[in-house]
């Protein structure tokens, strides 16, 4: 039996609590040495201007999207195009926001919003529910245990 599908809306919100500092989470989402261990093997290099994606294993996993907001270690906003799938890649770009909020108990709440998906219905469906939560679950496991989830 399959799980109920999450609605693929044009405004998707995902949250996870992580036992890590804001700085460690920021590094894990902007440094290619970390991203390749939980983000489908892709190396992501994020500067204040661009977010570049590259995979040593899979040449289709590439990307180069604009960074709209760069406020380490709290907030990152960048463009999103699903370059690994030709159908999705032909869709309009959407937007991803990462927000890191420290709590008093040594944990952080990481909130990810994927929105402006009106012109990218296939991407919206592709990333919905387990899509983004696989990435965020892997990020949490890597930061808390030092080992990748899968």
Among all chains, which residue has been given the structure tokens 């420290």? 102
28 and 137 Cβ atoms separated by less than 8 Å: no
d(CA 113, CA 44): 18
**Binding flag, residue 57, other proteins (CB under 8 A):** no
Residues 88-107 that bind other proteins (CB under 8 A): 97, 99, 101, 105-107
Residue from 17, 48, 56, 87 touching other proteins (CB under 8 A): that is: 17
Backbone angles phi and psi of 126, in degrees to 5: -65, -35
Residue from 4, 33, 57, 59 touching other proteins (CB under 8 A): that is: 4
Pick between residue 41 and residue 129 the one whose CB is nearest to other proteins.
Answer: 129
> Least distance to other proteins from the beta carbon of 129, Å?
5
**Binding flag, residue 130, other proteins (CB under 8 A):** yes
Residue from 19, 23, 58, 87 touching other proteins (CB under 8 A): that is: 19
Residue from 8, 16, 61, 67 touching other proteins (CB under 8 A): that is: 16
d(CA 133, CA 81): 18
Across the chain, the runs of DSSP E, i.e. the strands, are: 12-18, 43-46, 50-54, 63-71, 75-80, 94-102, 108-115
Pick between residue 12 and residue 123 the one whose CB is nearest to other proteins.
Answer: 12
CA proximity to 10, closest of 145, 131, 111, 122 = 122
C-alpha Rg value of the chain to the nearest Å: 15
Task: Give the binding site for other proteins (CB under 8 A).
Answer: 1-4, 6-7, 13, 15-19, 97, 99, 101, 105-107, 109, 111, 113, 129-130, 133-134, 137-138, 140-141, 144-145, 149-150
């Amino acid at each position: 039996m399959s799980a109920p599908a999450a609605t693929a809306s044009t405004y998707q919100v995902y949250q996870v609590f992580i036992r890590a500092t804001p700085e460690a989470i920021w590094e894990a989402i902007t440094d290619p040495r970390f991203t390749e261990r939980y983000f489908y093997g892709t190396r992501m290099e994020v500067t204040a201007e661009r977010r570049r994606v590259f995979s040593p294993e899979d040449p289709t996993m590439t990307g180069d999207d604009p960074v709209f907001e760069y406020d380490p270690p709290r907030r990152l906003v960048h463009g999103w195009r699903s370059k690994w799938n030709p159908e999705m890649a032909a869709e309009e770009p959407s937007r991803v926001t990462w927000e890191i909020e420290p709590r008093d108990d040594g944990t952080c709440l990481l909130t990810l919003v994927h929105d402006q998906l009106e012109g990218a219905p296939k991407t919206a469906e592709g990333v919905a529910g387990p899509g983004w939560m696989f990435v965020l679950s892997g990020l949490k496991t890597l930061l808390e245990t030092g080992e990748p989830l899968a």
